[in-house]
Amino acid sequence: MAPNRQVKRARNLVDLKAWNMDSCIAAAVILLGVVIWVLIPYQVDEPPAFLRQIHAGMSPSLFPRLAALGFVIIGVLYLLTSFDMNSENGFAELTRQDYAEIALVLVLMTAYVTLLQPLGFVVSSALSAVAIALLYGSRNVIGIGIVALIAPLLIYFMFTRLLNVSLPAFPWFTQ
């Protein structure tokens, strides 16, 4: 990369008039990564010590921290390349129905998080998968069933058994 191109990018970071839609999205991705990183210690509990022994598995905060770090790295790379992009504002083309669907998905995700404790990971994930699939027009009962049942079960057992990371249990079982 030519030195004058690096100088131009550095000036663009400071000059808000040079920012485009991609630059704003990149900054939001970086901010999201930082917020996740900061909030993880307050949101993810370490498993309790059993008979005064420290839990030998991976820390439950490992994957959220890796995701947060990934958000920051990808956001920085996206921000640095965003000034060379000539992009249009994609939000201007969205209809009211598109915004309504986005809002409904946010409501569904809030319900999903709320239902994690009382219903457990598998049941709440299955319900969310069915609701979102139906919202976006899928009517393939077999496909929805596979995604809603098999995927949450595989994820649950992979995390709890193979990676030794706790997820909200089935409401009728204790781990």
Residue 67 · residue 36 · CB < 8 Å: yes
* Tally of domains in the chain: 2
Interval 15-38: pLDDT, tens: 667 778 888 899 999 999 999 999
Integer Rg of the chain from CA: 21
Helices 121-135 and 96-119, axial angle in degrees (round to 10): 160
Q: Are residues 1 and 65 in the same domain?
A: yes
Mean per-residue pLDDT of the chain:
84
Interval 56-81: pLDDT, tens: 567 778 888 999 999 999 999 999 89
Interval 150-173: pLDDT, tens: 999 999 999 888 888 888 887 776
Residue 40 · residue 61 · CB < 8 Å: yes
Task: Choose the final residue of a domain: 74, 93, 112.
Answer: 93
Q: Are residues 118 and 141 in the same domain?
A: yes
What is the C-alpha to C-alpha distance for residues 91 and 99, in angstroms, rounded to an integer? 9
- Confidence label for 44 from pLDDT (cuts 50, 70 and 90): confident
- Confidence label for 1 from pLDDT (cuts 50, 70 and 90): low
pLDDT at residue 173, rounded to an integer: 63
Q: Are residues 46 and 130 in the same domain?
A: no
pLDDT at residue 166, rounded to an integer: 82
What is the domain range of residue 150? 95-175
